[in-house]
Structure 1
Amino acid sequence: MHSKIIGLDIGGANTKLASSDGTLVELHYLPLWKNTRLPEVLKEIAQRLRPERVAVVMTGELADCFEDKEQGIRFIKETVDSAFGSERVSYINSQGRFQNEAENLRELAAANWAASARLIGEEVGDCIFVDIGSTTSDIIPIRSGEHRAGLTDFERLLRSELVYAGTLRTNLAALLEKVKLEKGMCRTSSELFATTADAYLILGKIDEDAYTCETADGAGRSKTDAMRRIARLVCADLSEVGEREIYEIAEQVKDKQISVLTEAILEVAERNGLKKIASAGLGEFMIKEAAERLGFECVSVSGRWGEEISKVFPAYAAARLLDAEKPGN
């Protein structure tokens, strides 16, 4: 029997689920901007698991199918409440606290990192919590058990606490303006020809099972498919650039993404006087390398809670926080 308390992290592309005891982890690719199946999938989860209580965090309100964040929050909230029953559902806000009905609805926007930061603050202490998922990288300073980050994505982008690059869905042209090839430096094409998932699949940092998003060309997820997509980044095909050069482009992607991450972590570290990192997410491999470049201590969420929990950490943190709440608190 699985735990009767589950956490849900509803993003624009993925909905993640974890039980408070860590025995259950699920990831569902449910893009909100496309005739989303979120209502049907949540109802199926509710019927299959029959949880007593559900903790919810969200980032999907930013999806461009919504006119503004408030419309997105209302859609997600109504969908969850309909599936599980509103009396069973609790929402976590950008302070990392459970929201009551009277509080500002917009405080629920992009709050998944706040749940993670609260649990990390309790379990690890003062540090910079860095979580790289499929789409973004959160860089959250934590002191005295409380996060010190901006309360909106906009504020966090301004403070380098959010870097809009992830392990799967980032357009390679957004990271690399030029790549180094045998024939010289080559400008890249700003079409959506290839994503970070292609680069990390080729480098062996993810496997095909972890490649959960759509491919840029709608084709397969084999290494050959990924190579073909990366060749298009320089308007070429596999007869013009060989396997070795494709591998070198993928290495340049990784190096650039880690450089951007390192720069942001250093800015947050210097502003907050912190030199310890707690790493989570599908992109933990990047965080560990960034920590090495900076000479910072790195506590791995995978090492502490397991690799599967690390990939859905905000959902797990939300479930754990709800489990720890006493009635009346």
Structure 2
Amino acid sequence: MNDPTLANDAASQSAASDMRWIGIDVGGANIKAADTSGWTSAEPFALWKHPERLADQLRQQLPAPTATTRYALTMTGELADCFADRPQGVRQIVDAVAEATQTEASAGVDPLRVYSLDGQWLRADEAKSNPDDVAAANWHATASYAERYLGANETGLMIDIGSTTTDLITIDSNGVQTRSRTDFDRLLLSELLYLGVGRTPLCGLTSSLPFRGRDIPVMAEFFATTDDCFLVLGRTAAMPEDCDSADGKPRTVEHSVKRIARMIGLDHRSFNLDDAVAASEHIEAILKARVAAGIAKVASDASAWVIAGHGEWLLPKTVARQISLAQELGAERSRVGPAYALACLAEARFA
């Protein structure tokens, strides 16, 4: 005799296994997305300038939804100054994602879940009603994923160096160990360093740059960023078609030299590649020192580091065991770490 209950359970389990979870990380300057099968996407998007275009950007960036597509969302863009406060930012971001992915709960199925700071998954309406529980939660998702690489008795540190910020989060085999919940909390404890390898303005890192044996005060202007330094030093690849730079000109070494020259009131006539290299090495040394100081303050005794992002070369030497997600997962997945972590966590939770 056929048991309809068993048949329904089997159908439900089969449907869950067929789900394609796509993690979405909406930041103030970049949108990252990934599934668990190798698809990734990272695109610049100036949310603070064009919040009304977020849904359109997501529609262009994400695969077309199907009946088996599910979405896991996290964000940091709610703090963008286009929003009056974080609750407004959370509501607009959640609504834009729901619009872009055509996710409307029906027949008991809710295709969109939002990751919270306690590791829970909220429906869209719950997230909008509890904005402080989901605001700036992407670091928590990455750290929760990272703990799988630790041994039973290991203390770990999740390090994620991105284009704008660096996360330093203590973890162990039981999960995320910090008590911090907000960016304010993490700034206070050096768990969040507001520096990265792409968007950090040089005038926010130093008051002077070396130039032919002298230290020259820098102009407090958005003339150049760390991206220019690492293009000059060959740490990152030039992309002539990409004009997401301080002056809107191409991301090439030639243009980066010009941008760095402006920091000390010069131009290409009196500032050459060697000068740019010297200035860039100075900036790199500052970043390395600040990252090392943050690690020493947060978890100097960690026995393992789980490293995400795309600024691994800034890390100090250590006796800790190092697990590079770029090596474990590939550079593209590591670059979109929070989005990939979300997809994996959601797939495991709702399997």
- 1:285 maps to what in 2? 313
State the shift of 1:232 in Å.
Answer: 0.7
Residue number among 44, 51, 72 corresponding to 1:55 in the alignment = 72
What SS does structure 1 have at the residue aligned with 2:170? strand
Counterpart-to-counterpart distance in 1, 2:295 and 2:341: 22
Is 1:35 paired with 2:50? yes
Q: How has the CA–CA distance of structure 1 residues 54 and 147 changed in structure 2, closer, same or farther, with 3 Å as cutoff?
A: same
The 5-angstrom pairing of residues 75-154 of structure 1 reads 75-84=92-101, 85-86=103-104, 87-99=110-122, 101=126, 104-125=130-151, 126-149=155-178, 150-154=180-184
The 5-angstrom pairing of residues 1-329 of structure 1 reads 4-21=20-37, 23-36=38-51, 37-45=53-61, 48-50=64-66, 52-84=69-101, 85-86=103-104, 87-99=110-122, 101=126, 104-125=130-151, 126-149=155-178, 150-209=180-239, 214-270=244-300, 273-287=301-315, 290=316, 292=317, 294-326=318-350
Q: Identity across aligned pairs (percent)?
A: 34
Specify the code of the residue in structure 2 equivalent to 1:67: A
Counterpart-to-counterpart distance in 2, 1:142 and 1:315: 19
What are structure 1's unaligned runs of at least 5 residues? none
What SS does structure 1 have at the residue aligned with 2:121? coil
Question: Rg bigger for which structure?
Answer: 2
State the shift of 1:47 in Å.
Answer: 6.0
* Conserved 8 A contact 1:168-1:211: no
What SS does structure 1 have at the residue aligned with 2:122? coil
Paired positions, count: 319
State the shift of 1:207 in Å.
Answer: 0.8
* Conserved 8 A contact 1:29-1:213: no
Counterpart-to-counterpart distance in 2, 1:26 and 1:313: 11
Counterpart-to-counterpart distance in 2, 1:42 and 1:127: 34
* Conserved 8 A contact 2:243-2:250: no
Counterpart-to-counterpart distance in 2, 1:175 and 1:211: 27
* Conserved 8 A contact 2:307-2:322: yes
Q: How has the CA–CA distance of structure 1 residues 225 and 210 changed in structure 2, closer, same or farther, with 3 Å as cutoff?
A: closer
Query: Normalised by the size of structure 1, how large is the TM-score?
Result: 0.91
What SS does structure 1 have at the residue aligned with 2:46? coil
* Conserved 8 A contact 2:241-2:251: yes
Root mean square deviation of aligned Cα: 2.1
Specify the code of the residue in structure 1 equivalent to 2:345: L
Q: How has the CA–CA distance of structure 1 residues 196 and 229 changed in structure 2, closer, same or farther, with 3 Å as cutoff?
A: same
Counterpart-to-counterpart distance in 2, 1:227 and 1:280: 29
Q: How has the CA–CA distance of structure 1 residues 44 and 224 changed in structure 2, closer, same or farther, with 3 Å as cutoff?
A: closer
Counterpart-to-counterpart distance in 2, 1:8 and 1:258: 29
Alignment deviations for residues 234-266 of structure 1 (CA, whole Å, 9 cap, x no partner) = 111122222212101011111101110100011
Counterpart-to-counterpart distance in 2, 1:199 and 1:304: 27
Q: How has the CA–CA distance of structure 1 residues 231 and 46 changed in structure 2, closer, same or farther, with 3 Å as cutoff?
A: closer
Alignment deviations for residues 60-87 of structure 1 (CA, whole Å, 9 cap, x no partner) = 0010100111110000011112222142
Alignment deviations for residues 163-184 of structure 1 (CA, whole Å, 9 cap, x no partner) = 0011110001111112222241
What SS does structure 2 have at the residue aligned with 1:236? coil
